[in-house]
Structure 1
């Protein structure tokens, strides 16, 4: 068996094992899939500057690229396993054992993992080693048969090679097909389980009126006033979507409280629900970035839940924990200062999508999501920053992180080719906690700032659309925009990267008019 064929047997055997493990994980818990388990650990171990670089360079593609990188490493090691098995099967099998030991260890040691977390990796090991044994055996038989066939042809003066490798090719095809089927089934099952949940949520005690018409109905390219759920940005450390059963889900509030309390999903729905229009922003959002969105949220005021527990006198943070043990710190003073902080169960008239936190998540206006928007939340512990540290706090992100006022140009796009004459410049702006959006201004080619026309004013926690009619002349032009908040303060022009407390600066882009 030549080296290339030996390497191929190792790769296919490993892929079959990985596919089998992924299939089993899709039936149990998607996060325990061998590749996803290793990928999640890589995310946890990656230095913050590298993470920010990946998000800025790859955007929504950062996670697929990470998973692909893990798979490339797996393929290279599995090819080596095939080469080792060529010399002696035990050597190749030993490398596969080591290869599977990594995700198995990661899966069982992640926060909240149970004994079943190791099952997908064990299945991957059994299937991978069995496939390697079968392929190595088929390859050995093929090589033996080929030698005998060549000897027979030589004795009769023949020179053809014959179908001596047919058995090996069949075995390779069977293993490749099985890997494809199992992998595809695993993806389908995971997708099916993460589908939207069919639950009738109660109406808000005092429903809000419908949102006004947005400028997107008049000007193409401006982001919708209310972003549809399937278009709303998603940024988190998860490579999968947690499958949470709302019937068994609970939320516990403990720590520095008068009494520990636990709520079921039905308990939450039985309370007086409120609707709030709130814009969320990710701290990883760069100037002019897309990780911001406005939605109508349905939920219970956070203060009402905390009052039932009775907050003690020592706590200065809410340490919230999600279904898999991810911990996020929220300054208690900011969460309870009168802003519309929610435990949300609905989004834009529907139950929360699974990727956005079903069955419940935190939504706190005016604070970046990494300290305010825990998804799939199951526990809120009232404690102090000295006593307990959260995921982002350990990585030296800011403790207090108010959202910085900013304006974004949606249309025209950077480097766009425009026709001379009237064009529309438009976008969105936000200034939460600063009196809302007072004005938005545009500057052309470094000239004076010019006021734009504003869209509907929903509330101070919601973004506003804006537009400016521009009589464009031929040539290359620079367009910039800024927001001036309700207190009269313009957004800062000082450039800052997202780490550690959010980006800042003025967005400016270049277009060409002909």
Structure 2
């Protein structure tokens, strides 16, 4: 069915999109005041992560890598944009549908916000304010797109003889047509039937039309301001008339005087009080009229619009309104992020003065990096270090406000500030971190030099009880992690780290403080933005990932990876080098073997390492022959355990199997 809305569909969709953008921009601005994590898009994304089945999460990590959160947020925004465009299109016909849609989206946002850890009623304010402003923007833009220049509001009109409303009888009017001139076919005011002189009134009273008077069928709506009051000579003067539009073609907004009520008399219809007396003109809303029409007042309809001149579409006004909405949305986002503290935290990070380590790391051996093209460097630059966490918005923690609370099964609960931590003896250590979500041969592993206070030293200050076996750490965004007490206290370089590769921790890697524990997968050890340690037991508490299909404890499994040549690549026949990395943190890699096309395993040469907590580069020479070849690798750790060939998925406690690549040699 054809739409009767003057606003085209594309304009409705644009109005919806801009209204949604305004809603999100305002919500972002308010969230900058209340807290960045209260932004509804982030809350919905967090809820989606919590509700997503583990296989889907694993697929997202495999497919998108460290960009999985950006993809998720982008998906949420795309869905919101589609819904907003749909609501804008529907609102062209009935704005209430758009308001209802905004309200429904708001309810979903509120529910997502309230399901976050430590949520308070104040956290829903950004969502509510955004929804209200977005609905208002929808209404404003839709009205702005309508051209209402043809619609006028009629003032209350007095009797035809009132000097203030009409010229004196017989006085010429600049806009009045001459009596002997042909009448235009322009629409006329249906309420203009009463004439301004006595003969017109008498004609109305007798029930017969004066010679030359317009018939009821000729009378059509006209703006009240344009209706001339005819004098006696005009009322009596004959003249040709063009056919006027019939009532059936009148829009719904015309004066509600039916043709049947006018037929047969030029100015007679049922009175407004329903008495049935003749000689009176019934105008909706008019007060009862006196006999003969002398001194009566006639109230005109509130809206009078010429026939065929329904409100149109004003493209220019709409587009200027849209531009204003885009500006509001953009300003809201920019200010919201600034208020969220990103700039302040970045400035604080740059201003951190790191003390020298009390226990420096060993110098990296000269042979630790084989410097082969395409091979992962021994030290992973900060910008290239993998990132896997649950934070859709990176927590912005000002070191001046940061504290670490240690409580639970301790003799003396303690709380440390950032300044307190920097005053402790700091240890420097080279440690490779690995994510449990890493597939065989995957990219979620990296090596860095860390600086921090030893966790064991800090925990001893609190006095751990003998039966405690778990450290339940909590990050600033509510993530929790369970770390075995015995691993942290066994002498390894488990750190509350404050620096990475010679600079304060990057914000996305945990600034101001994170945990680093060699030998454990990150999900049970590497809490970023750590603010709380509860000393407890595994049989009393569980961390974030435990009820989501992952083991409560996660020691790293020995793994190896082929970096060059790449899977699916091609080589020229002849001598070439196969190279990669292997890791078995806190145990160390003792050997790496390579085979081609299922042949004999050959020992690879190993790079030097400063200790057992880092990965180890390896390489082997190969005389490549034409054809397609499959290359496999396996590692053996310092305890004599060799990687199993049995392939297993990352869940529940880390992937297993040999990494292999297939290449073509020409």
Normalization by structure 1: what TM-score? 0.91
Give the corresponding residue for 2:140. 134
Pick aligned residue for 1:53 from 45, 49, 59: 59
Q: RMSD in angstroms over aligned alpha carbons?
A: 2.7
Q: For 2:23 and 2:366, how far apart are their aligned partners in 1?
A: 53
Q: For 1:2 and 1:498, how far apart are their aligned partners in 2?
A: 52
Partner SS, residue 240 of structure 1: coil
User: Does the 8 Å contact 1:29/1:243 carry over to 2?
Assistant: no
1:201-251, CA deviations, whole angstroms, 9 ceiling, x for partnerless residues? 111112224323466563111111011111111000111110001111111
Partner SS, residue 390 of structure 2: coil
Give the corresponding residue for 2:457. 304
Give the corresponding residue for 2:321. 171
Are positions 1:281 and 2:431 aligned together?
A: no
Are positions 1:394 and 2:544 aligned together?
A: no
Partner SS, residue 50 of structure 2: helix
Partner SS, residue 346 of structure 2: coil
User: Does the 8 Å contact 1:331/1:399 carry over to 2?
Assistant: no
Give the corresponding residue for 1:158. none
Give the corresponding residue for 1:195. 346
1:132-179, CA deviations, whole angstroms, 9 ceiling, x for partnerless residues? 12112113x23x56999xx99xx9xxxxx9984321222223323433
Are positions 1:474 and 2:626 aligned together?
A: yes
Pick aligned residue for 2:371 from 218, 221, 225: 218
1:289-318, CA deviations, whole angstroms, 9 ceiling, x for partnerless residues? 010011111111111111111111332211
Q: For 1:133 and 1:350, how far apart are their aligned partners in 2?
A: 51
Q: For 1:296 and 1:365, how far apart are their aligned partners in 2?
A: 12
Pick aligned residue for 1:31 from 28, 34, 37: 37
Q: For 2:330 and 2:65, how far apart are their aligned partners in 1?
A: 28
Give the corresponding residue for 1:417. 570
Normalization by structure 2: what TM-score? 0.71
Unaligned runs of 5+ in 1: 156-160
User: Does the 8 Å contact 1:29/1:242 carry over to 2?
Assistant: no
Q: For 2:57 and 2:149, how far apart are their aligned partners in 1?
A: 53
Partner SS, residue 508 of structure 1: strand
Q: For 1:208 and 1:131, how far apart are their aligned partners in 2?
A: 59
Change (3 A) 1:291 1:509: same
Q: For 2:651 and 2:112, how far apart are their aligned partners in 1?
A: 27
Structure 1 residue 115 displacement after superposition: 5.3
Change (3 A) 1:289 1:122: same
Q: For 2:364 and 2:338, how far apart are their aligned partners in 1?
A: 36
Are positions 1:120 and 2:126 aligned together?
A: yes
Q: Which of these two proteins has the greater Rg computed from alpha carbons? A: 2
- Matching of residues 477-496 of structure 1 within 5 Å: 477-496=629-648
Q: For 2:133 and 2:344, how far apart are their aligned partners in 1?
A: 24
1:430-462, CA deviations, whole angstroms, 9 ceiling, x for partnerless residues? 11243x110111111111111111112221111
Q: For 1:138 and 1:325, how far apart are their aligned partners in 2?
A: 45
Change (3 A) 1:496 1:201: same
Are positions 1:449 and 2:601 aligned together?
A: yes
Pick aligned residue for 2:70 from 47, 64, 81: 64
Q: For 1:355 and 1:456, how far apart are their aligned partners in 2?
A: 30
Q: For 1:443 and 1:146, how far apart are their aligned partners in 2?
A: 85
Change (3 A) 1:217 1:379: same
Q: For 1:502 and 1:337, how far apart are their aligned partners in 2?
A: 23
Unaligned runs of 5+ in 2: 1-6, 153-185, 188-244, 246-310
User: Does the 8 Å contact 1:342/1:364 carry over to 2?
Assistant: yes
Q: For 2:323 and 2:53, how far apart are their aligned partners in 1?
A: 41
Q: For 2:501 and 2:412, how far apart are their aligned partners in 1?
A: 34
Structure richer in helix, relative to its length: 1
Give the corresponding residue for 2:99. 93
Q: For 1:445 and 1:3, how far apart are their aligned partners in 2?
A: 61
- Matching of residues 331-342 of structure 1 within 5 Å: 331-342=484-495
- Matching of residues 231-310 of structure 1 within 5 Å: 231-310=384-463
Q: How many pairs are equivalent?
A: 506
